[in-house]
Amino acid sequence: MSEKDKIKTLLVKKPLKLDCGQTISDFPLAYETYGKLNDKKDNAILVFHALTGDQFASGTNPITKKDGWWNYALGPGKAIDTDKYFVIAANVIGGCMGSFGPSDINPKTKKPYGTNFPVITINDMVNAQYNLLEYFKIEKLFSVIGGSMGGMQVLQFVSNFPNKAHTAVPIACTASHSAQNIALNELGRQSIMADNNWQDGFYEEQNKQPDKGLAVARMAAHITYLSKAGLQEKFGRKLQERDDLKFSFDADFQIESYLRYQGSVFVDRFDANSYLYITRAMDYFDLTKKFGGNLSKAFEKSDTRFFIISFTSDWLYPTSENREIVIALNAIGKDVGFVEITSDKGHDSFLLDVPDFLNTVRNFLNKSYEKI
Amino acid sequence: MKKEFYNIANLVTKNAKILDVGCGNGELMKYITENISKDIRGIELSKSNVQKCVEKGLTVIEGDAEKDLRQFPDSSFDFVILSQTLQAFLDPENVLNELLRIGKKAIVSIPNFGHWKVRLHLLLKGTMPVTENLPNEWYNTPNLHMCTIKDFENYCKQRNIKINLKNLKFQNLVSELGIFILEK
């Protein structure tokens, strides 16, 4: 079985008009499923991944051979229990795990799209994934769940399809990317573009890879996923396999070595152009824009039961930004719960073994499922 | 469940839209959900209590009533419940105004500092009263603004807040708790 055969793909024939004005059709949408859809088709959950995630949320990712990105939360007997629920996870368009993305071959030029790939948005990603409901003939999802960029997709999904999910769990996210978020993403993009191998985005046809730029982008981003206290506790000023400072620019400190490692393993699994396109989609995300700055209006027609979760040490998508979503929903009398989980693991908390978080998700889902 | 909660639950009407401010572990909300109205949600400051509410399948928002009532529109609930926490707020006057703004009716209970046991304790022992409803010492009590039933009635009178006495019996000397239905 070749690598590609391990990826399930839905060929979306229906034309999709993108926010940038272009229309795409006959494009691949890669997905994975966990658990079984029941006869009533009322146990389906659509899980949205974050910036560097993919459709392999649970078990072992057959391409990277690493654990699925949400292995702590999702699987048999876990918080999102696949013995009970049918979970669908798709790779976003613009991504690099089988969905339509910048490394696909442009039929007109017979070369990879590179930066000729259209700029996509969170709205486009969600609209593309909506096709999975039709494919699986699911009238209404039990839940839509995701953290970080996945949470943004949750919000966009409910806004676009107000009667298509009984519950929604946006985690550690925002309704509108802040200046700080945009700045950090721009840092990553500039790092990729500053790599000579990037070649204006047409590196693949020249058999080059902007690995150094992509690794630095990942290193910088990785810092934003952790908290100061978490970093200090894990690394402090500990030295890397040496007794004293070497008076050089080697990785003297463990934190340096750790970040270099994170950068180097990332380039093996992720495409630099996808990184540009997906961070751009996040930066363009502002759910209030279409509604004259009024976030409540984005949810006016929804009958979804919301549960919003943030983390104390997350400074990338802080509690205050998550609370704005709660406030917008309360302002129009929607059913919304909210909890801030105590964790020193920063933004990454939603991906890690944080028992309070996992229990909250489990309890919310299981109790809500009893009510539908 | 404590008796106070049965009393409060008896005051809300069938299928009313209710907010329980400072809902604790959700005991009262659960009872009301199962017996009177499913349209109920809570606000709670304590993270562990919020978890307990989620475990019960209740809709709860982690938040601080002093700041977070603002987000609810005027008259958005039929009843807003505040059980024995008014005296613990920094600015109880503001909280009361908010309760009466967002709720068509507010159900407020207060521990009565005018109860005879409290009076006797201070009179005979000369120390700050510690009772079942007021279990803390002076140095660790969360209660910043203790009042008596009479104080509270006077307060409402001065501000033209209507106290609906139907179904309620309480007296300054013999009631440990005062439960009031308030309307603007």
pLDDT at A320: 98
Catalytic residue of the set A99, A143, A347, A368:
A347
Question: Phi and psi (nearest 5°) for B166?
Answer: -55, 135
Is the CB of B51 less than 8 angstroms away from the CB of A359?
Answer: yes
Distance of alpha carbon A214 from alpha carbon A278, whole angstroms: 13
Q: Which of A335, A359, A370 sits opposite B59 (nearest CB)?
A: A335
Known catalytic membership, residue A353: no
What is the band of B86 on the pLDDT scale with cuts at 50, 70, 90? very high
Nearest to A129 by CA among A35, A38, A16: A16
Pairs across A and B, CB distance < 8 A: 54
Determine which helix (DSSP H) or strand (DSSP E) holds B55, and give its type and residue range: helix B47-55
pLDDT at B94: 97
Q: Which residues of B touch A327 (CB under 8 A)?
A: 71
What is the band of B168 on the pLDDT scale with cuts at 50, 70, 90? low
pLDDT at B133: 80
ipTM rounded to 2 decimals? 0.92
pLDDT at A1: 57
**Cα dist. B33→A168, A360, B14, B58, B83 in Å?**
21, 20, 10, 8, 17
Both tokens of A25, joined, read 């059709």
Distance of alpha carbon A165 from alpha carbon A130, whole angstroms: 11
Residues of chain A with pLDDT under 70: 1-2
* Selected residue of A309, A310, A330, A342 to mutate for chain B interface (largest B Cβ count, 10 A): A330
Q: What is the pLDDT of residues B25-38, one digit of tens each?
A: 999 999 999 999 99
pLDDT at B164: 84
Is the CB of A367 less than 8 angstroms away from the CB of B72?
Answer: no
Residues A10 and A132: beta-carbon distance below 8 Å: yes
Q: What is the pLDDT of residues B63-81, one digit of tens each?
A: 999 999 999 999 999 999 9
Return the CATH number of the domain spanning residue range B3-114+143-183: 3.40.50.150
pLDDT at B169: 66
pLDDT at A354: 98
Q: Which residues of B touch A360 (CB under 8 A)?
A: 51, 54
Domain locations along chain B:
3-114+143-183
A10-48: burial string, b at 16+ Cβ within 10 Å, e else: bebeeebebeeeeebeebbbbbbbbbebeeeebbbbbbb
Q: What is the pLDDT of residues B104-153, one digit of tens each?
A: 999 999 999 999 999 999 999 999 998 888 899 999 999 999 999 999 99
Does any CB of chain B come closer than 8 Å to the CB of residue A243? no
What is the band of B172 on the pLDDT scale with cuts at 50, 70, 90? confident
pLDDT at A44: 98
Catalytic residue of the set A124, A211, A314, A348:
A314
pLDDT more than 70, % of chain B? 97
**What's the angle, vertex CA A286, arms to CA A284 and CA A287, rounded to 5?**
135
What is the band of B166 on the pLDDT scale with cuts at 50, 70, 90? low
Q: Identify the structural domains of chain A with CATH numbers, from first to last.
A: 3-177+286-371 (3.40.50.1820), 182-279 (1.10.1740.110)
